[in-house]
Amino acid sequence: MTYAHPARDGLRLGRHSPAVVAHRGASEDAPEHTLAAYRKAIEDGADGLECDVRLTADGHLVCVHDRRINRTSNGRGAVSALELADLAALDFGSWKGRAADPEEPDQQTPDPDSTAVLTLERLLELVADSGRRIELAIETKHPTRWAGQVEERLLALLGRFGLAEPPPGQVSPVRVMSFSARSLQRIQAAAPGIPTVYLMQFVSPRLRDGRLPGGVRIAGPSVRIVRSHPGYVARLHRAGHRVHVWTVNEPEDVELCLRLGVDAIITNRPRAVLTQLGRR
């Protein structure tokens, strides 16, 4: 059975076509969470962009997945213990080229769009300048030393861009995702017009019937959950929830998501997925 959601949801592009969301940008082609990765995703035609946000020691939201910057930069330490100026002095992108050919010396001047730390503010500016509707799936990372402040700063920044509350009768282009139900509750209390997504690496026994934490209407199961328990998608739909699956990169997993009627595919390979869907 293919599940069709009301048009007001604004997230499905057709009965058989889920929205395609670029995971950390087009992160197979460019360093994750860099401006270059998000520009590439927009050029590829992605419907939405996914990013993780963390709060620096001086109160800036930056797009970094890990608690520490060791994996994706030439620096060390926790994001929460560093100021934006500290992060701005580091290289967040050259690791990807070196991983492809560690013996080949880099003769080119690094492109700042591919190496500089990306603030959420700059990403919002990129989306605003894109000239088309692009959805944003923003994940708050937990646990964090800044409990509650991440959500507060996030909503304040969205408010500056007119995104904290959608106009009457319109669907917000922003949704906030988290593995933390408490984080989503903070968002719901302060900005009820912003949809929330409960992310899952596994399905707890109390949620196996399709329930989600109070107020959440979008489930975010991993592709591993969907592979192992394909019937879970139907249970979520019967409960009235939408389903956004991460991280879907393999063609067979895209086909599985299509058969199950998921509402959004979050992928490192937006161009390849859009091609498989017949949209390129």
Alpha helix (H) residue ranges in 161-278:
181-190, 223-228, 231-238, 251-260, 270-276
**In 3D, which of 143, 148, 124 has the Cα closest to residue 134?**
124
- 23 as an active site residue: the answer is yes
Q: What are phi and psi of 182, to 5 degrees?
A: -65, -40
Q: Beta strand pairing status for 135-140 and 218-221?
A: unpaired
Interior/surface letters 124-161, b for 16+ CB within 10 angstroms, e for the rest: bebbeeeeeebbbbbbbbeebebeeebbebbbebbeee
Q: Which of 33, 65, 237, 244 is catalytic?
A: 65
Tokens matching residue 54: 């963390």
Backbone conformation region of residue 242, classed left if phi is above 0, alpha if psi is from -120 to 50, else beta: beta
Beta-bridge mates of residue 115 = none
Alpha carbons 13 and 187: distance in angstroms, whole number: 26
Question: Active site includes 241?
Answer: no
Query: Which residues are the active-site residues?
Result: 23, 65
